[in-house]
Every structure is written in C-alpha cells, then in structure tokens.
Amino acid sequence: MAAEKWLFPIISVSFVTVLLFLSAISGFTASSAFFSRLPDPAYVLHGRRHPPSFAYYISGARGDGRRMLRLLLAVYHPRNRYLLHLSHDAPESERAALASATKLAVPAIRAFGNVDVVGKAGAMTYMGPSGLAATLNAAAVLLRLDKGWDWFVTLTAEDYPLVTQDDLIHVFSSMPRDLNFIDHTSDLGWKESQRVQPIIVDAGIYLSKRSQYFQASERRKTPDSFKFFTGSPWVILSRSFLEYCILGWDNLPRMLLLYFTNVILSQEAYFQSVVCNSVEFHNKTVNNDLRYMEWDNPPQMEPLFLNHSHFEKMCASGVPFSRKFREDDAVLDSIDEQILHRKYHWVTPGAWCSGKRSWFSDPCSQWKNVNSVRPGPHAEKFEVLMKRLLEQWKSGSNSCRL
C-alpha cells in the first residue's frame, strides 16, 4: 500500500518523511532537531506511588498496517510504551508507511517518543513457535527501551479496546503489580493428542516465504518433568514475570522454550506452563485473559467475527479488550463514538489532553499532566469485574492447579 494513502494532512515536508523512513528501516525512532522544537512533555512518573503504565505489543500481517494504526490511536496514552510488528510477509513499503504514519498522526507521539515499529521483521507462523519467538523478542525490546512500564499487553490488528486508557490505568491502579492475567488450564482433553504429542517444525524459521509447518510422523509422550498448561494466547503479563522469562535467574523458562519449539500453537501454552510451574509465580496468576470473544458451538480454532449484534454484550462484559473484528467494521465506529469518544484520525482523549475539543480541533494536540487520569462510566463495570477476579485470586480458586 502506498505511503501517501496513510499519512494525515498535518505535515507535508519531504525532509521529515525521509527522516522517518530511515528511522523505520533501523527499527527505532531517532530524535531530530525538528522534533526537539515541539513542546516539552510533562514528566512521566513511574513507581508504586504513581499510576501504572503498559507496554503494548501490537502485531499484524501483510495488509494490516492501517488497522494497526487505528488500534494504536485507540489505545494510545503518553504514559505507555508501544511496539508495532508487521510480519516479514509485509512489504518494506507498508512497514515504512506505518512507521511514518505513527509519527505524523499525533503530536504527542512525536514529543513523547513512545511508539516504535520493528524494522527487521520476523516470521509469525500462526500454528508454529515463530509467533512466540516474536512475542518474546518484543518483550525483551520493551524491557530494554523503557524501565517504567508495569504490564505487557499483547494485541493483534483484529483487536480493539472496550475502555479508555484512563479507565484501564485507573482500575489497574488497585491491582498488585505482580499479577498476571492468563487464561489457563491443565485439563487437556482432546488437546493432549492433537496439540501436546505431535512434533512440528515451523518452516517460517528458515524459509522466507513459507508460513506453514511440517509435522513429523513420530509422536512423543506428554511430558512428566513439568505440568502442561494451555489456554488463550492473549495475555497481560507483569513486568516481573517477563523479566523472569527473558533475563532468567531460573532455568525453567529456557528449558520449556526448548520443548515448545516443536509444539503446535505454542503461544497457547508456553506462558501458561512457565507461570504455573514456577514456584515464584504460580500463585500470581488470574485465570482470565480480559478479552471479550464469541465462539461457535462447538468452538472452532478462532472466535467469530464481532459485529453490531454483539455490541450490547461487549459493553456489559466489563472486559477491557475484544476480538476479533473485520477491518473498518461499523461496530468499531460505534465503539469509538459511544465508549472511547474518539474521532477516527485522533487518539482516545483522556485527562492528559488540554486542548479545546471541537469538530476540527483535536483536544490531545495539547497536553498537561500525564500522571492524572479521569475514568469514565465504563470503568465502573471493569472495576466490578476486577474486584471479583481479585477476590477469586485471593481465595486461590482461580490460580494454577498442579
């Protein structure tokens, strides 16, 4: 897709476009004399005495760039950190256009410098472990880029928020910051023979234009050196747990990574198995992925596409995220208008935005204290859900069961 279809009519200086294109190829944003003339951002405060912040990993495949940009604007907040990854099957022109559009779309993104696009993309085979490798790499990059965030959130181009970032930050402020929100179970059922015992090789790891996997004729027994857990691939993980997985003071994450290299849909089992077999973290798990999804009966591989018929149930669910959506489905406009109060080309407004709101003026083109939040009515439903989950966690009823 040509870059000019992406860019908003804010700045049309060719020098800036070239600069952003070069920074996209390198994978990370460089500061420039042009950007240094923007207003200084408010000081972002981190730590236990201040509101939490989130590290978002947003992934997509060829043709998903526009959807990823829309999702970024819907979940943007200056306190957070964002890493966008278009898989290696996307052309470099689409990746460069996405990197340019993120910087030209919103003044705050240029000023705070908290959005990056992966320049050297990796394979993300859905059924194979290359998707897990990309997620772990993203976590490692975000740990290195920013020392302040508290939770790691995985989203794809098919996801969309059901709360504002002010709502999310407000509700998570009352949560212990070492909690992990992971849907998990050790009751494998049919998955034992269909997912656990087959041996696969992800072709995307060594073939540049192959996105499938090879399955060996041999099978292996269900492991007995650790308990196998499975669940949803969409997670919200604490910084402390990811440091354990990436930096590692224990061999468990690396040992399990070797095993899950040959497991079908390893993203549905790796984090679940690591956290539930860890002595330090197995009591710090909430058995919920905080996503709204609709499934066929019986459930298929992927949830149904959401539309207007699901809107009321989505709103009543209290969860902060939902999936999956078709590109530019009308229900996304309803979420923007009725929940996020966001215009299509602008970010979701919050307490940090200080500009005058009108039909032609983005209130978030100016900002004030980014350490304050103003929750809205949808935060109340989310708060009720989280209190119930927290009570279940304290009682031990939804933690890992070995």
pLDDT, averaged across the chain:
86
Q: Say what the pLDDT of residue 402 is.
A: 58
Report the distance separating Cα 153 and Cα 235, nearest Å.
6
Residues 6+ apart with CB under 8 A from 289: 181, 182, 183, 231, 232, 234, 235, 236
- The residue ranking higher by pLDDT, 358 or 327, is 327
Mean pLDDT of 251-267: 94
Q: Which residues pair with 230 in a beta bridge?
A: 185
Q: Residue 10 belongs to what H/E stretch?
A: none
More confident residue, 113 or 18: 113
pTM for the full predicted model: 0.88
Does position 397 have pLDDT exceeding 80, yes or no? no
Cβ-based burial of 243 (10 A; exposed 0-12, middle 13-18, buried ≥19): middle
Summarize pLDDT for 60-87 with one digit per residue, the tens. Answer: 999 999 999 999 999 999 999 999 999 9
Residue 14 confidence (pLDDT) above 50: no
Question: Please, are residues 234 and 192 in contact by the beta-carbon 8 Å criterion?
Answer: no
More confident residue, 28 or 164: 164
pLDDT value at residue 205: 77
Span 204-220, average pLDDT:
76
* Cα 214 to Cα 130: distance, rounded to the nearest angstrom: 13
pLDDT tens digit string along 36-55?
Answer: 334 455 589 999 899 999 99
Tens digit of each residue's pLDDT (9 = 90 or more) over 111-146: 999 999 999 888 888 888 999 999 999 999 999 999
The pLDDT of residue 24 is above 90: no
Residue indicated by tokens 């990436």: 246
Query: Which DSSP string do the residues of 48-100 spell out, in sequence order?
Result: TTS---EEEEEEE-TT-HHHHHHHHHHH--TTSEEEEEE-TTS-HHHHHHHHH
CA-based R_g, the chain, Å: 21
Question: Which of 5-9, 169-173, 277-281, 297-301 has the least mean pLDDT?
Answer: 5-9
